[in-house]
Amino acid sequence: MNVETVGVNMKIQEVRAKAKDLGLKNTFGLPKAELIRRIQKAEGNFDCFGTAKDYCDQFQCCFRDDCFRFVKD
């Protein structure tokens, strides 16, 4: 998966596929936000999806743009 396109308005199926690609287990039934946090941790980022308050220093995270949208909703 391409890091530049992954994360931008990802559907749950795409998030699950990314989790599978990373070898994450026992993810069935997890809410999308929790699954993304597990992916973030597996990729070496902080597991902080949906907690940003106006700023995020995790520039390598493929969910960064979605995170800001999630917080606003």
Q: Determine, yes or no, domain membership for 7.
A: no
Q: Is the pLDDT of residue 4 over 50?
A: no
The verdict on residue 2 lying in a domain is no
- Residue 45 resides in a domain: yes
Mean pLDDT, range 56-65, rounded to an integer? 87
Give the pLDDT of residue 8.
54
- Residue 49 DSSP class: T
Inside any domain, residue 68:
yes
Residue 3 lies in a domain: no
The count of other CB atoms within 10 Å of the CB of residue 57 is 9
Range of the domain at 66: 12-72
**Span 14-56, pLDDT tens digits:** 999 999 999 999 998 999 999 999 999 999 999 999 888 888 8
In-domain check, residue 31 = yes
Number of domains, the chain = 1
**Contact (Cβ atoms closer than 8 angstroms) between residue 61 and residue 45:** yes
Answer whether residue 6 is part of any domain.
no
DSSP letter for each residue of 13-48: HHHHHHHHHTT--S-TT--HHHHHHHHHHHTTS-S-
d(CA 58, CA 27): 23
